[in-house]
Amino acid sequence: MRLRFKPTHVVLAMLCLMYFITYVDRVNIGTAASEIQKELHLSNTQLGLVFSAFAYPYLLFQVIGGWVGDRFGPRKTLFWCGLIWAASTIMTGFVTSLLTLFIARVALGFGEGATFPTATRAMQYWIPANQRGFAQGLTHAFARLGNAATPPLIAMLMAWLTWRGSFIALGLVSLLWGVVWALYFRNEPKDHPDITPEELATLPPRTGDTRPQVPWGPLIKRMWPVTLTYFCYGWTLWLYLNWLPLFFKNNYSLDIKNSALFASGVFFAGVVGDSLGGIASDRIYKRTGNLRFARLSVTVTGFVGALLSLLPILFTHDITLVALCLSSGFFFAEIIIGPIWSVPMDIAPKYSGTAAGLMNTGSAFAAIVSPLVAGYVIDVTGNWYLPFLMSMGLLLLGGFSAFLMHPEIPFEEGGAMPSAGRPVPAE
C-alpha cells in the first residue's frame, strides 16, 4: 500500500527543516570565526561587529517581513527569502575583508528577517489551534538542532572544503529548500491537491480578509510586553550562538574540533528544551483551560531556571561543570520558545505574522547589542565570564516582564483591552 503523508504534516516538516537550515546559516560563522579572524586580521570587537551585522536588517524586516507574509502569503515570501539568504551564504565564501564580510552578513539578515514571522503566519492556518505550542516548540527545536549540529558540521566541512567552501555548500542547500517550498506549499490549505475534507476540518477557519489592513498603533500597544520579554530571552540566546565556540576555545585553550564538540553539547540541551516547553504549555492549557497560566507558567520557569543554572559558572573554572551549567541554562531558556511564540497567534490571529514580527523585533535588537557588548567587554577586560553575568540580569528582567503579557485577551482593533476574565473564542 502506498504510504501517504498528510499535507499538514509535510508542511510542518518543511518548516522544521527551514528553521534548521536558517540557524545553521546564521550561526556557522561562530565556529568558523577563529579561522576568519586569523585570515582577515580581526579583533574581538570587529568580530562582534560582524556577528551583529546579521541583526540590523533582521531587526528591520521583523515587522516589515511579518506584514509582507500577512499581505502576500507565506508561499511567495518564504521562497524569495530562501533565495536571498542562500545567495548571501554563498557570498560569504568569497569575502576578502571586514567590509565584504559585514555586507554578506547584512544580506543574510535581510533574507532571514521575514522567515519566522511568515512561518508563524503559515502555521496559523496549517496547524490546529490546540497544537500551536507544540508546533512552535517543535520548529524551534529544529532551530536549536541546527545550533547543535553546526559546530561539528562546520568543523568537518572546514577540514574538507576550507571555511570558504563550507559556506558555499550550505548556501546551495538553502537554495534547494526554497525551490521545494514554492512547489509544494499553498497559502490556503483547501487549495492543496492532497488535503482531505477530514484533515481540513481540523484546521482553524480562515478570516474573510486575506490581506488585512494592520492597525499598527493598537497592535504595538498590545505586543510591547511580549517584545520586551523576548528581548531579555534574545540577549542570552545571541550570546550563546555567537560566542560559545570561542568561549570554550579561548577560555580553555581548546582546538576548533574540541571547542565545537563542547558547544554542540550545550546546544543539544536547547533542542530538548524547545520540544518540552511547547508540549508542557499545550498540556497545561488543555487541563486548566487557563491560557495565560499555560503560557506564563512555562515562560517564567524558563527565565528563573536559566538564571539559577548560570550562577555557578561565576565560581568555578572546571570545564565539565561549566559545560553542564551552560547546558542547563540553555535548556531552561529554550523552554520559553514554544509558549512565547504561541502568544502572537493567541493575541492576534488575524495579524499573526505582523504580531510575531513585532515580538521577534526584541530578539533581533538583542542580536545587535548582545554580541557588540560581549566583544567589547572581552577586549577591554579579557574576562569571558562577564557577558554571562550581564545575561543573568536580563534573565531576571524577563521573568518579571512576562507577567505583563496577556495572551488570554483577544486583540481588538479599537485598542482597548477587555477585562482579563473574558474567554478566548474558539477557533
DSSP string, 76-101: HHHHHHHHHHHHHHHHHTT--SHHHH
Distance CA 331, CA 258 (A): 21
Nine cell digits for residue 325: 551549567
Q: What are 90-115's pLDDT values in tens digits?
A: 999 999 999 999 999 999 988 888 88
| Cα–Cα dist 409/420, whole Å | 6
For the chain, what's the residue count?
427
**Are 168 and 104 in contact, with CB atoms under 8 Å apart?**
no
Note whether 44 and 171 are within 8 A (CB). Answer: no
pLDDT in the model for residue 427:
41
**Cell of residue 159, nine digits:** 577540514
Q: Are 327 and 261 in contact (CB under 8 A)?
A: no
Q: What is the pLDDT of residues 305-331, one digit of tens each?
A: 999 999 998 888 888 898 899 999 999
Cell 565570564, residue located: 385
Q: In whole angstroms, what is the distance from residue 57 CA to residue 74 CA?
A: 19
Read off the pTM.
Answer: 0.73
The Cα 374–Cα 314 span in angstroms is 16
Task: Round the average pLDDT of the chain to a whole number and report it.
Answer: 85
Measured CA to CA, the distance from residue 37 to residue 34 in angstroms comes to 5
CB–CB of 208/350 below 8 Å? no
- Amino acid identity at 286: K
Q: pLDDT value at position 262?
A: 76
Cell numbers linked to 319: 570545564
Give the CA count within 13 Å in the CB-facing half-sphere of 210: 9
Q: What is the pLDDT of residue 2?
A: 45
pLDDT of residue 413: 57
425 has pLDDT over 50: no
Q: How far is CA 373 from CA 242, 317, 363, 376, 389, in A?
A: 12, 23, 15, 5, 12
CB 276 within 8 A of CB 137: yes
420 vs 125 pLDDT, higher one: 125
Q: Give percent of the chain with pLDDT exceeding 90.
A: 37
As a whole number of angstroms, the distance between CA 283 and CA 293 comes to 11
The mean pLDDT of 161-186, rounded to a whole number, is: 93
Give the Cα separation of 359 and 89 in Å (integer).
26
* Nearby residues of 312 by Cβ (< 8 Å), 6 or more positions away: 321, 325
The counts of H helices and E strands in the chain are 15, 0
**Is pLDDT larger for residue 134 or for residue 94?**
94
Q: Is residue 78 over pLDDT 50?
A: yes
Domains of the chain: 7-200+220-404 (1.20.1250.20)
pLDDT in tens, 232-284: 999 998 888 777 777 887 777 777 667 767 777 788 888 888 888 888 998 99
Least confident of 41-50, 127-136, 218-227, 316-325: 127-136
Query: Helix, strand or coil for residue 187?
Result: coil
pLDDT at 422 over 60: no
